[in-house]
Structure 1
């Protein structure tokens, strides 16, 4: 049962489509959503603006600056991102693209009174976060790459080194003070990470740690947050370079008795892809991944390269279904043309920007799968299919057709006769564009899924 996929607005009431004489009968692939099979609860989708990338948005002239904010955060015209990951700085200056610290000078000892300095900008991230709040974003993740150098074994916030034992409380206080600046500015920090890629020493901010060391600090940080009336802030750990490393460091945290003080287990995907759930007791987040080396492309399905939009749709699908991630974050949301690679979703210079199809791959999920949605079981069809029930009762069904032929798909949710339905398409020619669908008398929804494309169906539940 299918009407040709002429692009039109698709908020279609059930009764307007229910007449059998108006619905041609054609063979279609049936996908069934089973609400009795429940998996992870979603926290959202997002990106980072660390290493001064947020300043690219701040400095963009109007009206382009607002237009770019809409592309990132609007749930009606843009990607509808719901998580913002900010880099928590440790460097005494802002040379190059370093993230500056709020404690640029050594107070003299771990117990001496610190001299905090707040510029009210945080490399543009503070302003960007305040704008995100206006769009309804309420998940903000502050993530430190390193402690200030004087707190570390190598006396440098770069090139690895570890946190000195005697500075653990001072580092916890430092992180709390940073969060307080944001809270005072109306930005509700919900998550805090104190490490980034602790298995890698780099020439920029970095700090090494194993699971036992991380656990020792968590045991200081958690009660310190609680004492500062920040019990709502969840600790995230540990941003490893890959899934295998994340499992190793998390194992050390558990064996050291700090698992109960952790809120989220996190990892990147550079050295190992998301292939299994990191924890049975905490949400797993994929917090950073990008095509760091591929030349800039805005293609959806070109040659199947690492920067193609459809590749990223599949990346997200794989992490959600194989590793049960509750959040999936891109690396940089925006970045300058140099380097001209795919590590950003949007290429931005002093006066203009260009949006990649990777952003619209995220939009297919983020616009339709909202925070608090629960993943449901699906069956039928040779596609990459996921389904979620949102908090408002609507069901989102996301279908990626990697094949070379279009398909007519019929989607049914057991026990649900939708009050209305919409569908959205991204492919080489469309960016989250509404498409035609039909609703049959049995409540199933039918529409076309073009070759090498992603279509998201959202079925609205009847009002209670």
Structure 2
């Protein structure tokens, strides 16, 4: 039998031990030689002026601004988010819940010189672009690695309905002829100018989306598009972006659901335009995430939340749509079944009566939902650039898992116990990324714990890891320092 090293038990809830071959309960076998998709990160959005709420628009104090930023971004006290999704405005004005366009004067024609205006919200402390620019700078300072800017619509004068809301199509794509002409190049130039404003502020935009939920006609900023019509714009946008010298890559198309996006991707593929994309993006609303897309491009789930349920802070109460355990399962299945490379929440923090924000703000009150700590189980333990590795569960339908190997060789294994009983779990197949031993840590989330370190010990090469997972709980095991 391999000698065991004494370990420090930080919480009585969970114990971890290295032990030899006798195994009971559920066995999880890790195979780091069998790899899947790259992990790009966890993220959130503060579009439609939600960023101004973080900076005090509704009474949040400076101290709580810092607290909220840390909750979302810190890798030691928060969720460790590394992707920020911003909204590119299209509205002529910017009362609350609208995103102002950088071009509010309608040009005489698509070829006329545009009249750009980089103002956004100018109230002191909010910064430009409806609070998003300041948030972007603060997020980068706290470790955000990737900026994704997405346009919900082109400005109204570029569309066949002359409105940035209520659907409508970009003038010039297949089947859409406008008396004003073809606005595809003007829209490409518009997006490029937005990037240049950010570049002048010292911020590089990594990915750009030109559509958001193009399958929906809604009363807020929106623009309809089929896959073929998206390809028609890519025909113009891709060379324009390439000629600019910017390193920004194109994302498409943020379908409102998994199958809605699959349809648009297939249309882009049939048109021969898939090579112009950097990533494929989809939401989880209209249809849930399911079988992977047939593409060599990384796939991101870029927006999903509980939009209809009441405000819920619990990890588990009755299995409702807004609980933390529900979202832990959504995230895990997205990685394990749908092969996504990133998973983003709709709103990180905001003042809302719905359940859509991870951190709910009310004046200067900060209410943290357990959904945030579901995101932390991956955001805090898996680094961008890691790869998902094979993790096979034997003997329990109630225990599910994912596993990732970071670039430094360390491994994170996320284990969810969906049953009402404690589960004994054995993790086998792990190898140390040092010569002989590793420090193994376990982090617990349930109704009584957020992302709490429960145990750590020295683990010897070739031994297994055993733990008792509390009912309706999640633990991530990490190897490394």
Give the TM-score of the pair, scaled to structure 1. Answer: 0.92
Pairing 1:265–2:280 present: yes
Q: Is 1:157 matched up with 2:167?
A: no
Matches within 5 A, 1:37-436: 37-59=34-56, 60-119=60-119, 121-165=128-172, 166-230=182-246, 232-337=247-352, 340-381=353-394, 382=396, 383-416=399-432, 418-436=437-455
Q: Which moved more, 1:377-386 or 1:163-172?
A: 377-386
Instruction: Give 1:349 deviation, angstroms.
Output: 2.7
5+ residue gaps, structure 1, are none
> How far has the Cα of 1:233 moved from its partner?
1.2
Contact 2:54 2:350 (8 Å CA) reproduced: no
Offset of residue 370 of structure 1: 1.4
> Is the 8 Å Cα contact of residues 395 and 458 (structure 1) preserved in structure 2?
yes
Superposed, 1:15-54 pairs within 5 Å as 27=24, 29-54=26-51
Cα separation, 2, equivalents of 1:426 and 1:286 = 23
Q: Flag the 1:404–1:440 CA change in 2: closer, same or farther, 3 A.
A: farther
1:222 CA displacement: 1.1
Instruction: Provide the rounded CA distance (Å) in 2 between the counterparts of 1:314 and 1:52.
Output: 30
| 8 Å Cα contact 1:437/1:445 also seen in 2 | no
| 1:63 partner SS | helix
Question: Contact 1:421/1:457 (CA < 8 Å) preserved in 2?
Answer: yes
Deviation at 1:410, TM superposition (A): 2.8
Deviation, structure 1 residue 442 = 3.1
8 A contact 2:51–2:130 mirrored in 1: yes
Give CA-to-partner distance per residue, 1:367-413, whole Å, 9 cap, x none.
Answer: 11111110000123421100000112110000000011112323234
Counterpart CA distance in 2 for 1:449 and 1:268 is: 31
1:376–1:387 Cα contact (<8 Å) kept: yes
- CA apart distance, 1:441: 6.2
Q: Which runs of 5+ in 2 are unaligned?
A: 120-126, 173-181
Equivalenced residue count is 450
How far apart, CA to CA, are the structure 1 residues paired with 2:135 and 2:158?
Answer: 29
1:457 aligned to 2:457? Answer: no
Distance between the aligned counterparts of 1:436 and 1:460, measured in 2? Answer: 14
What's the CA shift for 1:121?
1.2
Cα displacement (A) at 1:141: 0.4
C-alpha distance in structure 2 between counterparts of 1:363 and 1:6, whole Å: 19
Distance 2:137 2:365 in 1: 22
SS in 1 for 2:245: coil
Query: Which SS does the other structure have where 2:308 is aligned?
Result: strand
Partner Cα separation in structure 2 for residue 238 and residue 276 of structure 1: 18
Whether the 8 Å CA contact 2:312–2:322 is kept in 1: the answer is yes
Q: 3-state SS of the aligned residue for 1:253?
A: helix
TM-score by length of 2: 0.89
Query: CA separation in 2, counterparts of 1:181 and 1:112?
Result: 20
- Give the RMSD, CA atoms, in angstroms: 2.3
